[in-house]
């Protein structure tokens, strides 16, 4: 994870994930560049149409959530709280 956050282009991940991360970056930062030709390298890396759709939906939902949180100035709890809640959610689910 740390390597992906540092630079997804050089992180030790498989090619389908690297392609998905590149797609997410373009979708989030340069959506005007997304078009039918964008799908070719994703498919060549082994992503199915369903995989591409899933990546696009997750990216879009996170973008909306972040914008709402920023607009409404949501409070971000400290890491200790997030770690505690993550354990609870893993046991009980969301």
Which of 55, 30, 31, 32 lies closest to 42 in space, CA to CA? 55
CA 68, distance to chain mean position in Å, is 17
Q: What is the dihedral of CA 80, 84, 86, 91, to 10 degrees?
A: 170
- Find tokens 């997804």 and name the residue: 8
Query: What global pTM score does this model have?
Result: 0.75
Taking the domains of the chain in order of start, what are their residue ranges?
A: 2-92
Closest by Cα among 78, 88, 28, 83 to 55: 28
The CATH classification of domain 2-92, taken from the options 3.30.70.270, 3.40.50.300, 1.20.1290.10, 1.10.287.1260: 1.20.1290.10
Task: Specify whether the CB–CB gap between 10 and 3 falls below 8 A.
Answer: yes
From first to last of the 94 residues of the chain, give the pLDDT tens digit.
899 999 999 999 999 999 999 999 999 999 999 999 999 999 999 999 999 999 999 999 999 999 999 999 998 888 888 888 888 888 887 6
């Amino acid at each position: 994870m740390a390597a992906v956050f540092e630079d997804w282009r050089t992180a030790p991940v498989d090619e389908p994930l690297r392609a998905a991360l590149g797609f997410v970056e373009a979708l989030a930062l340069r959506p005007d560049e997304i078009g039918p030709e964008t799908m070719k390298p994703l498919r060549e890396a082994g992503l199915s149409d369903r995989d591409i759709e899933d990546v696009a939906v997750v990216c879009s939902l996170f973008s909306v959530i972040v914008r709402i949180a920023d607009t409404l100035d949501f409070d971000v709890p400290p890491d200790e709280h997030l770690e505690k809640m993550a354990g609870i959610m893993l046991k009980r689910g969301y």
